[in-house]
């Protein structure tokens, strides 16, 4: 069983996934990390991106300047589509390969864009981590040392809370301390084990 885990910026996805991994030994795949792997130097996708957009999308050390690329495709829907159709299948392959190596009873796919990217199709259940917007703002500002206005702008661009929640099979409400978050993860883990034992009977 693959369980997808998503949520808005600073909602607590990483904190929840860490609990699944550390307390229960669950194999966690990070979709964000995979999206960086496929454009590493030496990968064919980086060559194709440079062919299309020029050297301006490279940093001096030869790695992808993600901010420059984002800026270039931001107002060009056709270019964005081109980029997505190049990268999405590659990211999907990386995710699938990693998920296939899981030894735990189920695996977790953590993705901020689980729903928007279609990655949810690889999962059998979806967890949404939900936190009040004021907490998303304050926790992210503290973690990243960036102004709340900047985080607010990212939140405005993300899928809104209600829409995201409408896709959830399970919701983790992260509006208290970490112990409360961990307790919810532990309960879900137990529920998944029960589900799996039922499925294998």
Question: CB burial class (10 A; 0-12, 13-18, 19+) of residue 26?
Answer: buried
Closest CA to 87 of 51, 34, 42: 34
The 10 Å Cβ neighbour count of residue 138 is 15
Q: For the chain, how far is it from start to end, CA to CA, in angstroms?
A: 15
Stretch that binds ligand ATP, among 9-17, 43-51, 52-60, 192-200 (CB under 6 A): 9-17
Instruction: Work out how close the CB of 162 gets to ligand ATP at its nearest, in angstroms, rounded to a whole number.
Output: 18
Which residue, 61 or 156, has its beta carbon nearer to ligand ATP?
156
Going 79 to 81 to 82 to 83, the CA torsion angle's sign is positive
Q: Is 125 in the site for ligand ATP (CB under 6 A)?
A: no
CA 51, CA 58: separation in Å to the nearest integer?
11
Instruction: Work out how close the CB of 84 gets to ligand ATP at its nearest, in angstroms, rounded to a whole number.
Output: 20
Q: Is 14 in the site for ligand ATP (CB under 6 A)?
A: yes
CA 145, CA 136: separation in Å to the nearest integer?
13
The 10 Å Cβ neighbour count of residue 38 is 20
Instruction: Work out how close the CB of 159 gets to ligand ATP at its nearest, in angstroms, rounded to a whole number.
Output: 12
Q: Is 7 in the site for ligand ATP (CB under 6 A)?
A: yes
* 13 is known to lie in a ligand binding site: yes
CA 52, CA 3: separation in Å to the nearest integer?
36
Which residue, 123 or 174, has its beta carbon nearer to ligand ATP?
174
Q: Is 173 in the site for ligand ATP (CB under 6 A)?
A: no
Stretch that binds ligand ATP, among 35-43, 56-64, 84-92, 135-143 (CB under 6 A): 135-143
Q: Is 139 in the site for ligand ATP (CB under 6 A)?
A: yes
Closest CA to 99 of 34, 193, 44, 182: 34
Name the CA radius of gyration of the chain, rounded: 18
Q: Is 9 in the site for ligand ATP (CB under 6 A)?
A: yes
Q: Is 112 in the site for ligand ATP (CB under 6 A)?
A: yes
Q: Is 165 in the site for ligand ATP (CB under 6 A)?
A: no
Feature table: binding site: 10-15
* Binding region for ligand ATP (CB under 6 A): 7, 9-15, 112, 139-140, 143, 174, 177-178, 181
């Amino acid at each position: 069983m693959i369980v997808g885990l998503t949520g808005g910026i600073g909602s607590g996805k990483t904190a929840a996934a860490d609990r699944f991994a550390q307390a229960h030994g669950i194999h966690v795949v990070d979709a964000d990390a995979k999206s960086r792997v496929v454009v590493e130097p030496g990968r064919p996708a980086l060559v194709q991106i440079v062919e299309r957009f020029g050297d301006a999308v490279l940093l001096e050390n030869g790695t992808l300047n993600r901010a420059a690329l984002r800026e270039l495709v931001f107002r060009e829907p056709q270019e964005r589509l081109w980029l997505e159709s190049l990268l999405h299948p590659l990211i999907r392959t990386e995710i699938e390969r990693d998920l296939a190596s899981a030894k735990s009873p189920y695996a977790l796919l953590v993705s901020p864009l689980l729903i928007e990217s279609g990655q949810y199709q690889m999962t059998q259940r979806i967890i949404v981590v939900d936190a009040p917007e004021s907490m998303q703002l304050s926790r992210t500002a503290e973690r990243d040392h960036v102004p709340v206005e900047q985080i607010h702008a990212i939140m405005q661009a993300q899928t809104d809370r209600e829409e995201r929640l409408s896709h959830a099979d399970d919701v983790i409400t992260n509006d208290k301390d970490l112990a409360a978050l961990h307790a919810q993860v532990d309960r879900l883990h137990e529920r998944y084990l029960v589900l799996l034992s039922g499925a294998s009977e």
